[in-house]
Amino acid sequence: MSAHPSSSLKRYFGIWITLLACTGLTVWAASLDLGRFNAAVALTIATFKAILVALFFMHLKGASEKLTKLVVVASLFFLLILLVLSMSDYATRTWS
């Protein structure tokens, strides 16, 4: 049994509340007319939420450096695949 179970439970609830607040912020930001910055604001909030989930709920915070590097490299690899496939689809479309 852990020596500090309540502090970790408090941390998880704090992160959960932060994620809920960021979700509310995303909904609120979607109702604003920010022009071409709508996507940038939404992606910034989503990135922050993804970092929180990865660090705390996937236990990357405090993990070994090798595991963290593996996760970063794998994430970048799959992001590259996503971008290449998306851009190849975009480039091969016929626009009328």
Q: Could you read off the pLDDT of 4-60 as tens digits, one per residue?
A: 455 588 888 999 999 999 999 999 999 999 888 888 888 889 989 988 888 888 777
Helix (H, G, I), strand (E, B), or coil: what is residue 86? helix
Tokens 């090798």 found at: 66
Segment 53-72 shows an average pLDDT of 80
Task: Give me the pLDDT at residue 4, please.
Answer: 45
Residue 10 buriedness (CB in 10 A; 0-12 / 13-18 / 19+): exposed
